[in-house]
Amino acid sequence: MKFIDEATINIYAGDGGNGIASFRREKYEPMGGPNGGDGGNGGSIYFESNENINTLIDFRFVKNYRAKKGENGKSSECYGAAGENLIIKVPVGTVITEKQTGKIIVDLKLHGEKIIVAKGGKGGLGNVHFKSSVNRTPRQFTQGEPGEEFEIYLELKVLADVGLLGMPNAGKSSLIRFLSAAKPKVADYPFTTLQPNLGVVKIDIQRSFVMADIPGLIEGAADGHGLGHQFLRHLSRTKLLLHILDIAPYDESINPALEAKAIIKELNKYSEEIVKKERWLVLNKIDLKNNIDIIKKNIIKKLNWTGKIFCISAINGKGCKELKYEIMKHIESQKNNYEKI
């Protein structure tokens, strides 16, 4: 299924039904007084998060969503039926924004969260409400109120504990394939990943974490070049970023340290929030090099790197086990610190 992570739709809550003016006309009471009922309320529009949905693709084909209108009032003081509410289901992690104002309405982070976004119009009043001692035959009634309508922007941010970032062909997809059951496409050319991939990395029966692989970044990604800029938003929810660095690039003229600096530059241009996240450096493809220690020292020196650094081979798994246990340890420590607060 094609991954779609943003969409714009129009929503229209139902209008309220009109009240009516009517009078009792029974056999022995030909002038029995007013009995016009109220109109029913219009249906409202709700958004509900569902963990069984993982894309916004349906909203690319259907742009307009309308709730039912309330029925008009009836005689004998009968109210019109209320319009049926419309519940729109979206993936967990969807941010709902009013397009015109840019105001975020809600960020649905949990399964089953439900919120009303557009309220249905209130039903009009029948003439029974206007009778009085001086107005025994009122002919007044009111129209139903219109329902709310909005242009809505939907943005999906995947919920992952760990995000992978790096240049195309750095080995991100290979790493998530090795550590989880996810099977993203892997090939010996750049841009094999065209959409985000999620994988669950299991430590034991009760311990696991979710890893997200986004398309590789290139210089200028924050300005719209390449593919990765479309999916940088998915890194905003992660607890940890793994910066995958290819130390054995297909082009020997490519400098891994300069590649890393280019990625850091793009992150700074895109979001301060993402830059502030904890980021570990992961040197990949050590199976293709012999002088790993020298390469590692050079990269640390050129980047002035003071954070954690790991050396792995995503193809044969060397160093991957140690990396996943360190990730789990970090996530659990963050969770414990949060619970203490």
C-alpha–C-alpha distance, residues 249 and 188, integer Å? 11
* Percentage of residues in the chain having pLDDT higher than 70: 86
The mean pLDDT value of the chain amounts to 84
* pLDDT confidence tier of residue 228, bands split at 50, 70 and 90: very low
Do residues 264 and 219 share a domain?
Answer: yes
CATH number, position 108: 2.70.210.12
Considering 133, 156, 179, which residue would you say is the last residue of a domain? 156
Helix (H, G, I), strand (E, B) or coil at 207: coil
Considering 134, 156, 178, which residue would you say is the last residue of a domain? 156
* pLDDT confidence tier of residue 180, bands split at 50, 70 and 90: confident
C-alpha–C-alpha distance, residues 139 and 319, integer Å? 84
Does residue 194 have a pLDDT over 50?
no
The DSSP H or E segment spanning 114 is: strand 114-118
Report if residue 75 sits inside a domain: yes
Does residue 216 have a pLDDT over 60?
no
Q: Are 46 and 99 in contact (CB under 8 A)?
A: no
Across 169-187, average pLDDT: 75
Could you tell me the strand order of the sheet in which 309-311 lies?
Answer: 197-202, 208-213, 162-165, 240-246, 279-284, 309-311
Q: Give residue 119's identity as a one-letter amino acid code.
A: K
224's tokens: 């719209």
Do residues 121 and 55 share a domain?
Answer: yes
* pLDDT confidence tier of residue 222, bands split at 50, 70 and 90: very low
Residue in 164, 154, 117 with CA at minimum distance from that of residue 310: 164
Tens digits of per-residue pLDDT, 73-125? 998 889 999 999 999 999 888 999 999 999 999 999 889 999 999 999 999 99
185 or 209, which is more confident:
209
* pLDDT confidence tier of residue 154, bands split at 50, 70 and 90: very high
- Specify the pLDDT at position 309: 94
* pLDDT confidence tier of residue 326, bands split at 50, 70 and 90: very high
Do residues 193 and 258 share a domain?
Answer: yes
- Specify the pLDDT at position 337: 57
68 or 163, which is more confident:
68
* pLDDT confidence tier of residue 196, bands split at 50, 70 and 90: low
Do residues 257 and 140 share a domain?
Answer: no
Domain containing 275 equals 162-340
Helix (H, G, I), strand (E, B) or coil at 103: coil
Do residues 204 and 323 share a domain?
Answer: yes
C-alpha–C-alpha distance, residues 36 and 78, integer Å? 7
Does residue 9 have a pLDDT over 90?
yes
Where does the chain have alpha helices with state H? Answer: 172-179, 256-270, 272-275, 292-303, 320-340
- Specify the pLDDT at position 193: 43
- Specify the pLDDT at position 189: 39
Across 291-310, average pLDDT: 92
- Specify the pLDDT at position 55: 81
Do residues 191 and 331 share a domain?
Answer: yes
Residue in 145, 199, 113, 147 with CA at minimum distance from that of residue 18: 145
- Specify the pLDDT at position 182: 62
Considering 105, 140, 156, which residue would you say is the last residue of a domain? 156
271's tokens: 């979001």
Checking 220-229 for CB contacts under 8 A at 24+ apart, the result is 220/266, 221/266, 221/270, 222/266, 222/267, 222/269, 222/270, 223/269, 226/168, 226/191, 227/191, 227/194, 228/165, 229/266, 229/270
Do residues 117 and 204 share a domain?
Answer: no
Report if residue 1 sits inside a domain: no
How many distinct structural domains can be found in the chain?
A: 2
